[in-house]
Chain A
């Protein structure tokens, strides 16, 4: 079962539709028992990281997510789902986040239109299973005003330029996260979810 975490916000339906389109059965859920037995977990998101953290706390999911990721459960964070993995965010004053990836979430630099909204290229810094069948420099759909900057730059497997160069794909073991929205990024986006899920199902039996 592929769990799509429902924390009361975010574009759950689009993510679930993308997973269903690929022939898998997504379960939109916030129940611990579902997450515990999920073969892969997707944390989607729009809005602000601070609110998302608050929602995750209210649902009692913070410690569970930390544990599941520490145990190497396949996990995909999307947009705000990437940002909450960091130590904390500067959005709306400092808010502590999950602290799974050491580093901070910072505001995009002044001088460019914010939000960074639209299709932009992802440069593949390393060969990663997530990129299988996706050309280097392919466009993905972004919409965000903040970006995550990991202390360990080697976690950045894909990067994107918008005034600065930012990590747009982050990976560590079975944890991956994208600042863009694969579910809104056409066939390349669907391919990326498929790469993630196929790998997850291969590493874990139901």
Chain B
């Protein structure tokens, strides 16, 4: 049976992991290579790197980091943040990334999804969607935001998810802007709505605080994978602890490494 994936997310700026981590085990908690190895040893199922560098030089250092990570870590790597062209994608895939994630660029130029899928295969193309609940709507609706959640687009999240898949997205990385950073649980309704709307896997993101939140996103939200940052980085829960919890509740997870 296909197992549910547990995915730590690392924010990288100028080649360094930011949003502080508190691993006592690591001498340098900002080193993406050391962190990737740590999560690999722990049994994470996949890693997502989100580049928040503002400069081309900053992005170059990420490409170098991906090269070094893929020499040491034998698990799937997804890299996103600031990708605008298929040339950007190629550079990261060549460096050792398995998938690339596009967000703002996909909304502004949806052909990029198709071009990427044609060049590298759908399985490489993750479309990341940042969605915010519309308070004004009588039935639940969510709007797509771009530019790191700063700019509303007027686009319906479910509609966009379907379009992205039609154009060739192999996976959706779905973040609830409302839930993100609050550690009060994922937006289950949003996760379920998107997961039921598309035929490709959906990664739920934003809001993980307790292990039960992950369970709910996977079961009630019907997500195929859950992404979390702070609960793992600050050591609130370890990967083995997380998997033991989910396994005990009857979910298929990968326990051995």
- Interface residues of A, Cβ cutoff 8 Å to B: 9, 11, 13-14, 17-18, 20-21, 46-48, 113-121, 135, 138-139, 141-145, 161-162, 183-190
Contact = CB atoms under 8 A, between A and B. Distances in A.
Given A17-B96, A141-B76, A115 B70 contact: no
B2 A46 contact: no
Contact of B254 (A115, A139, A144, A189): A139
Contacts of B2: 116, 118-120, 142, 162
A162 B93 CA distance: 27
B231 interface: no
Given A117-B171, A119-B3, A120-B2, A46 B76 contact: no
Contacts of A121: 1
8 contacts: A113-B199, A117-B123, A118-B2, A120-B3, A139-B3, A139-B254, A186-B43, A186-B257
B72 to A, nearest CB: 8
A17 B148 CA distance: 33
Interface in B11-65: 40, 43, 45
> Per DSSP, are chain A's interface residues mostly helix, strand or loop, or mixed?
mixed
B121 A46 contact: yes
A138 B200 CA distance: 24
Contacts of A162: 2
A184 B98 contact: yes
A187 B70 contact: no
Interface residues on B, range: 35 or more
A161 B67 CA distance: 33
Contact of A13 (B5, B96, B120, B199): B96
A118 B70 contact: no
A20 B71 contact: yes
Contacts of A115: 122-123, 170-171, 200-201
A47 to B, nearest CB: 4
Interface in B60-87: 67, 70-72, 74-76
Given A117-B170, A143-B98, 6 more contacts: A17-B70, A46-B121, A48-B121, A143-B170, A145-B122, A186-B40
B185 to A, nearest CB: 23
B95 interface: yes
A183 B74 CA distance: 6
By Cβ-Cβ distance, the 8 closest A-B pairs, closest first, are A47-B121, A139-B254, A119-B254, A143-B123, A119-B3, A120-B2, A17-B71, A113-B201
Of B43, B225, B254, the most chain A CB neighbours within 10 A belong to B254
Contacts of A186: 40, 43, 74-75, 257
A117 B257 CA distance: 17
A116 B224 CA distance: 11
